[in-house]
Amino acid sequence: MNSLSLFDFDKIASVYDQYYATEQGKKIDDLEKFNTALFFNDLNSKNVLEIGCGTGHWTQFLSHHGFEITALDTSDAMLEIAMKKNIKNAQFVKGSATELPFEDESIENIMSFATLGFIKNKEKAIKEMHRVLKKNGYILIGALNKNSVWYEENKSNEIYKSANFFDYESLYKSLADFGAPKMQSCIYMEKGRLLDEDNLFVREKEKGGFLIGISQKIFL
């Protein structure tokens, strides 16, 4: 197990993508991506570092939107699966979010999806993102929300029970170290059922199971 991670993702790499083939998994995935893509017009470049790429699921999504991606992960098993997908305009790098193998202010945009909550020292990871991001570059983070019904219904899951997830306030605060954050959320559930009709900007954004935030680096 990687000593920097709260969960050993090597052991689930071979079955990780199966979730997205389930009916609910597909619905949730579509909602997360729909809400995330709304922020893409804020970016001033198509070059992005994806931190915690896993099996390349989000990497494929970024590729379909025309991004040039450097995709980083610590898990050999995850990276092996991702590379077999032959994702256009993506190169894969093994590395740690808390010790990014890049020069200061060398990255135009950074994205990370449902990753930081599984890093033992996510505060150090945020500092590393700040270090490598260029001035006026953007950071976009998708994160699981510990103050959501979704989390309450899934927190006993082996993968999630040891995680250190954000809530709306803590993600906003982390992004505010870069500049003025914009935030949104989605995924509202009740008794195991996805509330489809309430997932597009209707309910309290602080309670959505999936938080999305973006900030431009103006503070050095």
At 5, is the secondary structure helix, strand, or coil?
strand
pLDDT tens per residue across span 85-134: 999 999 999 999 999 999 999 999 999 999 999 999 999 999 999 999 99
Once rounded to an integer, what is the mean pLDDT over residues 56-80? 97
**pLDDT at residue 36 in the model:** 96
Look at residues 90, 94, 87, 150 and name the one whose alpha carbon lies nearest to residue 117. Answer: 150
pLDDT value of position 197: 59
Percent of the chain whose predicted confidence (pLDDT) is above 90: 76
Give phi and psi for 72, each to the nearest 5.
-115, 140
Our CA dihedral for 218, 115, 62, 194, rounded to 10 degrees, sits at -110
pLDDT band (50, 70, 90) for residue 3:
very low
Domains, the chain, ranges and CATH? 9-216 (3.40.50.150)
Above pLDDT 70, what percent of the chain? 94
pLDDT at 8: 81
pTM score of the predicted model: 0.93
| pLDDT at residue 145 in the model | 95
- The per-residue pLDDT for range 111-125, each reduced to its tens digit, is 999 999 999 999 999
Residue 1 has pLDDT above 50, yes or no: no
> What mean pLDDT is reported for the chain?
92
Cβ-based neighbours of 109, under 8 Å, separated by 6 or more = 43, 45, 47, 48, 49, 133, 137, 138, 139, 140
28-45: average pLDDT:
95
Assess contact for 154 and 192: CB atoms under 8 A: no
Could you give the 3-state DSSP secondary structure of residue 203? Answer: coil
List, for residues 162-207, the tens digit of each pLDDT value.
Answer: 799 999 999 999 999 999 999 999 998 888 788 765 565 556 788 8
Residue 128 phi, psi dihedral angles, 5° rounding? -65, -40
**Among 100, 116, 210, 126, residue whose Cα is nearest residue 163:** 116
- Render 80-101 in DSSP notation, one character per residue: HHHHHT--TTEEEEE-BTTB-S
pLDDT of residue 158: 83
